[in-house]
C-alpha cells in the first residue's frame, strides 16, 4: 500500500515507519520536525512540512495517491495543554481537520489514527473497554476526542474506513537500538527515569503515594512501542481485508505502579537516583488499564514484549545510545 | 461596552444586535452574509467577512478594542451536518478556534457563545439540566460541543469569562415586524409551518406519530427569539458585574407537541394545509425541555413571550412581511 505517515519522524511514528517498510509498504512521511528527527525516518520519503499549512497538504496529496493515512502528528504534553489549550486545539484538532479535508477530496480509503486513553478522563472503572463514556479532563485528551469524532463522522458520510487506536502508556524502544524516544522534555515516567540513570536529570518526583493501590502509587498499563507499532501495521491489513471501522484500546491489560517501574529501572541499570515523593497531581486517576479483548479479536494482535523488564531494558539501552549520539557531531 | 457580534446579520444574531443597540452598546457585526442580510443589522457597523479568514479576524481586532464577543456565526442544519460533517467542523469548530485565538491575543475579557440543546444528544431525561452528560448524536451538535470545550479550556488558562447559552427551539420574531427568520431553506418546525401558510410550501411532514406523548408527536421547548436575545444582553451585564463563567439552558421549561404547534399555526392563520404523517426520523428524542432554573437564578432572566400563541403570531406576521419584502425591489 501507498501510505502517508504524519508525524513519522517522532517516537511512535518512527517505529511504525520502520515496521511498515519491513512489511513492504510504500511510505511518505510528513513531519514538521518540531519534535521528530530526520534520522528516525528509516524507510520511505520524508517531506518536511506542517499540517497547519493546507497548501502543503494539498501538494502532498496531489503528488501521491495514498491508500492509507496513518496520522501521528500531534502535541502530547498534558500540562502544556492545560496552560495553552489553543495550541492543542490548533495542532491536534484543527490539523486533523485539515488532513481530513484532503482525505475527503482525494477519497483516501483507509485511516489509522493515534488516539489516547486520555479520552476516558477519570473513569470509575480501572480496566477500560472502548465503550466507556468519553470524558477527557484536559485539552490534550479533548483535542484527541474531537479528532476521533471528526474521523468517525466523515467515515459515516463517505467510503472512508478507519481504525482508531487508543494508546495507554507507551514506552520502550526498538530492541536493536535503531530507534527510541528522543522527544525533548518528555514527561513519560519511564523516559524520565531513564534520564535520571544517564544523569540528564538529578532526580524525579512521584506524584501521590496514598492511592488505594498495592504500594500507594498510581497503576498504569505500559505497552512496548514495538507491540504498539505492530498494531498499526495489522490495522492496515485488517482494513485491506475489508474489516469495518473500529476503535481499539492498545495496552496489555495489566498494570504496574510508579514505584514498581522506578524499582525496575534502578535494578536493571544498577544506578540509584533520588526520588521525591510529592502530593497527588490533579487529574491522575488511581489506576488505568486497557481491556484489550477487542484488539486481540479484531486484529488478531498479540504482544511480543509484554514484560516490564523488556520495556525498561530497551528504553535504558536506547537512552545510552541517544545520549552518545546527541553529544557527537552527526 | 464595545462588542463584536459574529453572525449578527442572521436570525438570532440580528435580534440580539437590535437589543444591544437599545441597551447602548457599541456594536461591530462580522458576518459573511451566507445566510444573513444587510437589512437585518439595525445597529452598529457591519463588516462583511468570514471567520475562516484569519487575516480578516486580525484586522477587525486590530481596529477595535472589544470588551466582549457574542459568537453566533455557524451552520445549523442537522441533516446537512450528517451529510457533510467537515463543513460543520470547519465553519463551526475551526472558525470558533480562529476567533478564540484573536480573543486570546487581544485579551478580550467576555464572551457569549451560542450553543444548543443538541449537545445533549438523546438523553434519558426529558427535562434537561446543564449538568447532564454531553453526547451529541450529529456533527452539528458535536461541532458546538467542541466549541464549548475550547472556550472553557481557554477561560481556565486565561482571564476570559464566558456565558455559554444552550438554545432549545428558537422561534418567533420581533413583534414590531422589524426582524424575523429569513434563513433560506430553514428546517425549523414553526418556520416551515408558516411557509405553508404563505404558500411557499404546499405542505409539510410530521416525523413520527407513535411517541409516548399526549398526541404521539415529539415534544419540544419553543423559546421566543426576543426572550432569547434578552438573555444575551443580560449575560453581558452579568459578566460586567463580575459574574463567573456559566453554561445556561435557554428554554421555558415546558413543551408543545408537533401537532399542537401545527394546530396553533392553522388556527391563528385561518389557513389549512396538508400535513403528511410519516415515520420517525433517526435521532429525534421523544421529548426535550430545558430545566431553566439556572438561567433564572444566574441572570435574573424571566421570559416575556412565554406562550405559543405569541410565538406563532409573531412568526406568522413576520412571514407575511418577509414574503412581500422578498418579492419587491429592495
- How many other CB atoms sit within 10 Å of the CB of residue A52? 13
ipTM score assigned to the predicted complex: 0.94
Residue A325 has pLDDT above 70, yes or no: yes
Query: Which grid coordinates belong to B312?
Result: 406563532
- CB contacts, 8 Å: B133 with chain A: 133, 135
Q: E strand or H helix at B268, and its extent?
A: helix B258-269
Q: What is the pLDDT of residues A126-176, one digit of tens each?
A: 999 999 999 999 999 999 999 999 999 999 999 999 999 999 999 999 999
Mean pLDDT score of chain A, rounded to an integer? 96
Beta-carbon contacts below 8 Å between A and B: 64
Instruction: Decide if B129 is inside a domain.
Output: yes
Q: Is the dihedral of CA A43, A187, A88, A148 positive or negative?
A: positive
What is the pLDDT, as a whole number, of residue B214? 96
**Residue A182 belongs to some domain of the structure:** no
Q: Do B157 and A89 touch (CB under 8 A)?
A: no
Please tell me the distance in Å from A186's CA to the nearest CA on chain B.
22
What does residue A75 show for φ and ψ, rounded to 5 degrees? -90, 145
Let me know whether A233 and A271 are in one domain.
Answer: no
Q: Please compute the mean of the pLDDT values over residues A199-209 and round it to a whole number.
A: 94
Q: Which three cell numbers, joined as nine digits, stand for A136?
A: 477527557
The answer to whether A157 touches A128, Cβ cutoff 8 Å, is: no
Does residue A183 lie in a domain region?
no
| B208 in the same domain as B67 | no
Task: Report whether pLDDT(A330) > 70.
Answer: no
Q: Which of residues 137-156 of A touch B (CB under 8 A)?
A: 139, 142, 146, 149-150, 153-154, 156
Residues A101 and A31 in one domain: yes
Q: Which tens digits make up the pLDDT trace of B152-208? A: 999 999 999 999 999 999 999 999 989 999 987 778 999 999 999 999 999 999 999
Residues A233 and A118 in one domain: yes
Joined grid coordinates for residue B27: 456594536
> What's the rounded Cα separation, in Å, for the pair B233 and B23?
8
pLDDT tens readout for residues B90-117:
999 999 999 999 999 999 999 999 999 9
- A210-253 pLDDT, tens digit per residue, is 999 999 999 999 999 999 999 999 999 999 999 999 999 999 99
User: Which residues of A are less than 8 Å from B93 in CB distance?
Assistant: 93, 97, 146
- The reply to whether B59 and B143 lie within a common domain is yes
Please choose, from the candidates B165, B171, B92, the residue with its C-alpha nearest in 3D space to the C-alpha of residue B130: B165
Domain CATH number, residue B200:
3.90.25.10
Which three cell numbers, joined as nine digits, stand for B252? Answer: 421555558
Q: What is the domain range of residue A214? A: 189-220+253-327
- Per-residue pLDDT tens digits for B299-315: 999 999 999 999 999 99
pLDDT per residue as tens digits for the range A65-118: 999 999 999 999 999 999 999 999 999 999 999 999 999 999 999 999 999 999
Interatomic CA distance for residues B248 and B294, integer angstroms:
6
User: What per-residue confidence (pLDDT) applies to B43?
Assistant: 97
Specify if A181 maps to a domain. no
CB contact under 8 A, B153 and A90: no
Name the 3-class secondary structure at B261.
helix
pLDDT at B328 over 80: no
Whether B271 is covered by a domain: the verdict is yes
Give the pLDDT mean for A285-307: 97
Q: In chain A, which residue ranges form alpha helices assigned H by DSSP?
A: 11-22, 54-63, 78-83, 85-88, 95-105, 139-156, 189-197, 225-240, 258-269, 293-299, 308-327
Per the CB < 8 A criterion, the answer to whether A91 and A74 are in contact is: yes
Q: Choose, out of A82, A105, A139, A153, the residue to mutate when testing the contact with B (most B CBs < 10 Å).
A: A153
A139/B82 Cβ within 8 A: no
Chain B residues in contact with A85 by the CB 8 A cut-off are 150, 153-154, 156-157
- pLDDT of A187 reads 85
Q: What is the CATH number of the domain that holds B29?
A: 3.40.50.720
Residue A10 lies in a domain: yes
- Can you tell me the mean pLDDT for B44-59? 97
State whether residue B98 is helix, strand or coil.
helix
Q: Residue B127: pLDDT above 70?
A: yes
Residue B330 has pLDDT above 60, yes or no: no
Q: Which residues does chain B have within 8 Å of residue A89's beta carbon, measured at their own beta carbons?
A: 97, 100, 150, 153
Q: Which residues pair with A256 in a beta bridge?
A: A220
Same domain, A232 and A297: no
CB-based contact A214:A253 (threshold 8 Å): no
Q: Return the number of other C-beta atoms located less than 10 Å from residue A66's C-beta.
A: 22
pLDDT at B8: 98
All three cell numbers of A71, joined, read 496520522
Q: In this complex, is the C-beta atom of A186 within 8 Å of any C-beta atom belonging to chain B?
A: no
What pLDDT, on the 0 to 100 scale, is given for residue A15?
98
For chain B, the straight-line distance linking the first and the last C-alpha, in angstroms and rounded, comes to: 32
Main-chain phi, psi angles of B89, to 5 degrees: -70, -25
Regarding whether B162 and B205 lie in a shared domain, the answer is no
Q: What pLDDT is stored for residue B194 in this prediction?
A: 94
Beta strands B246-250; B204-207: pairing state: unpaired
Query: What pLDDT is recorded for position A179?
Result: 95
Q: What percent of chain B has pLDDT over 90?
A: 94
Both B145 and B207 in one domain: the answer is no
SS (H, E, C) A224-260: EHHHHHHHHHHHHHHHHCCCCCEEEEECCCCCEEHHH
CB B41 within 8 A of CB B17: yes
Give the A window 58-117 contacts with B, CB below 8 Å: 82-86, 89-90, 93-94, 97, 100-101, 104
Residue count (chain A)? 330
- Residue length, chain B? 330
Q: What share of chain A has pLDDT > 90, as a percent?
A: 94
More confident: B325 or B38: B38
Q: Is residue A143 a part of any domain in this protein?
A: yes
From A269, A157, A288, A179, select the one nearest A229 (Cα to Cα): A179
Identify whether residues B303 and B284 lie together within a single domain.
Answer: yes
Angle at CA B284, nearest 5°, toward B283 and B290?
Answer: 120
Which residues sit opposite A257 in a β-bridge?
Answer: A219
Beta-bridge mates of residue B207: B278
Q: Crossing angle for the helix pair A95-105 and A54-63, nearest 10 degrees?
A: 30
Concerning whether B140 is annotated as a catalytic residue, the answer is yes
Q: Same domain for B198 and B242?
A: no
Cα–chain-centroid distance for residue B276? 27
Q: Is pLDDT above 80 for B329?
A: no
Contact between B174 and B226 under an 8 Å Cβ cutoff? The reply is yes
What's the whole-number mean pLDDT along residues B86-93?
Answer: 98
- Say if residue A23 is in the same domain as residue A139: yes
The minimum CA-CA distance between B153 and chain A, rounded to whole Å, is: 6
Question: How many structural domains compose chain A?
Answer: 2
Catalytic residue, from B140, B162, B238, B252: name it: B140
Position A282 pLDDT exceeds 90: no
Q: A243 lies in a domain?
A: yes
3-class secondary-structure state, position A9: coil
- Are both B109 and B55 inside the same structural domain? yes
Q: Which of B89, B135, B142 sits opposite A97 (nearest CB)?
A: B89
pLDDT in tens, B35-51: 999 999 999 999 999 99
Sheet strands (E) in B63-119: 68-71, 110-116
Amino acid at each position: 500500500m501507498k501510505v502517508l505517515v504524519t508525524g513519522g519522524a517522532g517516537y511512535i511514528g518512527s517505529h511504525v515507519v520502520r515496521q511498515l517498510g519491513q512489511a513492504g509498504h510504500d511510505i511518505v512521511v510528513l513531519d514538521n520536525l518540531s519534535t521528530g528527527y530526520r534520522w528516525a525516518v528509516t524507510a520511505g520519503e520524508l517531506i518536511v512540512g506542517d499540517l497547519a499549512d493546507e497548501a502543503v497538504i494539498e501538494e502532498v496529496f496531489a503528488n501521491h495517491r495514498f491508500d492509507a493515512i496513518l496520522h501521528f502528528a500531534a502535541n502530547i504534553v498534558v500540562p502544556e495543554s492545560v496552560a495553552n489549550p489553543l495550541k492543542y486545539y490548533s495542532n491536534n484538532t484543527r490539523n486533523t481537520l485539515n488532513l481530513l479535508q484532503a482525505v475527503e477530496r482525494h477519497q483516501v480509503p483507509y485511516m489509522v489514527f493515534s488516539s489516547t486513553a486520555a479520552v476516558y478522563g477519570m473513569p470509575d472503572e480501572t480496566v477500560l473497554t472502548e465503550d466507556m463514556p468519553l470524558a477527557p479532563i484536559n485539552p490534550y485528551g479533548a483535542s484527541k476526542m474531537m479528532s476521533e469524532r471528526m474521523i468517525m463522522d466523515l467515515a459515516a458520510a463517505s467510503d472512508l474506513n478507519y481504525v482508531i487506536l487508543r494508546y495507554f502508556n507507551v514506552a520502550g524502544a526498538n530492541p536493536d537500538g535503531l530507534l527510541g524516544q528522543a522527544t525533548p522534555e518528555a514527561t513519560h515516567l519511564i523516559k524520565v527515569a531513564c534520564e535520571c540513570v544517564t544523569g540528564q536529570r538529578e532526580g524525579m518526583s512521584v506524584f501521590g503515594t496514598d492511592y488505594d493501590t498495592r504500594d500507594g502509587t498510581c497503576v498504569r498499563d505500559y505497552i512496548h512501542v514495538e507491540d504498539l507499532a505492530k498494531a498499526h501495521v495489522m490495522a492496515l491489513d485488517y482494513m485491506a481485508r475489508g474489516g469495518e471501522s473500529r476503535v481499539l484500546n492498545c495496552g496489555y491489560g495489566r498494570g504496574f505502579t510508579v514505584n514498581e517501574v522506578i524499582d525496575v529501572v534502578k535494578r536493571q541499570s544498577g544506578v540509584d537516583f533520588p526520588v521525591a515523593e510529592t502530593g497527588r497531581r490533579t487529574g491522575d486517576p488511581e489506576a488505568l488499564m486497557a481491556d484489550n479483548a477487542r484488539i486481540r479479536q479484531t486484529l488478531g494482535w498479540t504482544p511480543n514484549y509484554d514484560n516490564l523488564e523488556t520495556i525498561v531494558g530497551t528504553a535504558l539501552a536506547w537512552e545510552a545510545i541517544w545520549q552518545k549520539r546527541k553529544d557527537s557531531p552527526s
